[in-house]
Structure 1
């Protein structure tokens, strides 16, 4: 999978990816609007080109309150995100080219007010989905928000993802309609965060296409 050209579908309004992006951006905007006064911290796992967060922050009234760290492995995507952030004057946004699966990459920025796990759950195994959700209890502050995505194709793991978050003390705030053609969920933490455990690997990024081939075999 070429993860740079994969983003091109965001520029075509008729695609499910473009519609999902708008849904994620709406939830990011709502999370920022509802956050308490003062400094806000945001982390994004497998951030890609950062379009979800950066396009919202560029015009949001609280843009200067937000410090963010976007972690992405593909240097072409991080170069795009870096240029977007600088062009928008978002000088408190840090773009890091690194393995987003390691919790060490978020040290100093967590527990965060907003955690973005977009484009991850559809590309990792069920066991790693559960492991990543458990790690969100370290990454997200009490009262903070996790926004996540997962496709609704078979096997539909969205109900399992919701159950896992809710077992760990996250309250469901919003979930896209099952017929939307994509899955976007919002959960808010209701517990004090767990200490960050250095060296923890949350997931191995397998890829949607590889997972689908394995399921069909």
Structure 2
């Protein structure tokens, strides 16, 4: 899969990805607005070109409060993200070309105030979705939020994802309606964070084009 070319769909007005990106960005803005004064931490798993985070931070009044790390395996996309970081003067944002599934990459930034898991859940197995959600209490601080995405094609996993979060100390803050055609969710962590265990793999990124035929597809952000 050419993930660099694939990202061009974000620039097509009215496309599925453009609409979903707009919703994710709005949820990031709201999360920043609602965050307490002082320094904030943000991490993004499988961050792609980082458009969701970087385009929001570039214009947000809390931009200088946020220390962020974007983790993405594709070097072409991380190069674009790095250029955007430099052009917007986001000195406290770093992009890491690495496997986002490994907990080691988040050791010094957890627990975080905002955790993005966008474009992940449609590219991994159900078992890995649950494993990733099970790790979120190690990634997210108390009263922090996880913003996540998942398509709503049959079988619709959004209700199950919500249940898995809520079984692990998260409260549902907002989920996009089914008629939107895509799933974007925000869950706020109301419990105490657990220490992040090093050397753990949360998921194996299979890719929507490589999943079995009975596995519906979602593209990464």
TM-score range, shorter-chain basis? Answer: over 0.9
User: How many residues are paired up?
Assistant: 216
| Cα RMSD (Å) | 1.0
Pairwise CA distance, 1:213:
2.4
Q: What is the correspondence of 1:63-82 to structure 2 with a 5 Å cutoff?
A: 63-82=63-82
Residue of structure 1 equivalent to 2:204 = 204
Q: Secondary structure at the match of 1:208?
A: coil
2:138 equivalent to 1:138: yes
Pairwise CA distance, 1:212:
4.6
Q: TM-score, normalised by structure 1?
A: 0.98
1:214 and 1:87, CA in 2 relative to 1: closer, same or farther beyond 3 A? same
* Partners of 1:132 and 1:3 in 2: CA distance: 22
Pairwise CA distance, 1:181:
1.3
Instruction: In structure 1, list runs of 5 or more residues that go unmatched.
Output: none
1:212 and 1:18, CA in 2 relative to 1: closer, same or farther beyond 3 A? farther
2:39 equivalent to 1:30: no
Q: Secondary structure at the match of 2:49?
A: coil
Instruction: In structure 2, list runs of 5 or more residues that go unmatched.
Output: 217-221
Residue of structure 1 equivalent to 2:194 = 194
Residue of structure 2 equivalent to 1:10 = 10
2:44 equivalent to 1:41: no
* Partners of 2:144 and 2:133 in 1: CA distance: 14
1:194 and 1:214, CA in 2 relative to 1: closer, same or farther beyond 3 A? same
Q: Secondary structure at the match of 1:67?
A: strand
* Partners of 1:205 and 1:89 in 2: CA distance: 31
What do residues 78-128 of structure 1 show as CA deviations (whole Å, max 9, x unaligned)? 000000011000000010000000010011000000000000000000000
* Partners of 2:211 and 2:163 in 1: CA distance: 22
Aligned structure 1 segments of 4 or more residues deviating by more than 6 angstroms = none
What do residues 32-70 of structure 1 show as CA deviations (whole Å, max 9, x unaligned)? 000000000000000000000000000000000000000
* Partners of 1:205 and 1:159 in 2: CA distance: 22
Q: What is the correspondence of 1:64-103 to structure 2 with a 5 Å cutoff?
A: 64-103=64-103
Residue of structure 2 equivalent to 1:59 = 59
Q: Secondary structure at the match of 1:78?
A: helix
Pairwise CA distance, 1:175:
0.4
Pairwise CA distance, 1:214:
5.2
Pairwise CA distance, 1:198:
0.6
